[in-house]
Amino acid sequence: MTGHGEVSGARASDLLGLYTTATAFEASTRGGGNTEDFTERIHDYFATIPTERYPMITSMAAALTRNVGDERFEFGLDILVAGLARQAQRGA
């Protein structure tokens, strides 16, 4: 069982590192920190998407383009940690 716990721990470390790195990379692509301009451009793009073809995306456009800073990162981190805790409870 120890080997399996080590594998899970290594995968968890890798996953958390990937999540953090991906979030930082995404932030770096937003025009030097001007998130309001970036968010507005994304919102404008969502407005051009055909509602009949992508009803879920268009109905969530406002929520998807909220400028929430760390709230989005923390939400994802909470989900990852909860999933890892669940795996630990199952002995994975």
CA distances (Å), origin 63, targets 13, 67, 74, 82: 30, 9, 16, 23
Residue 1's pLDDT is what? 37
pLDDT averaged per 10 residues in sequence order, the chain, 92 residues: 69 93 86 73 90 94 82 92 87 62
What are the domain boundaries of the chain? 2-90
The pTM for the full model equals 0.71
Q: Is 50 left (phi over 0), alpha (psi -120 to 50) or beta?
A: beta
> Hey, what amino acid is at 27?
A
Residue 38's pLDDT is what? 80
On whether the CB atoms of residues 23 and 73 are closer than 8 A, the answer is yes
Q: Where does 2-90 sit in CATH, by number?
A: 1.10.357.10
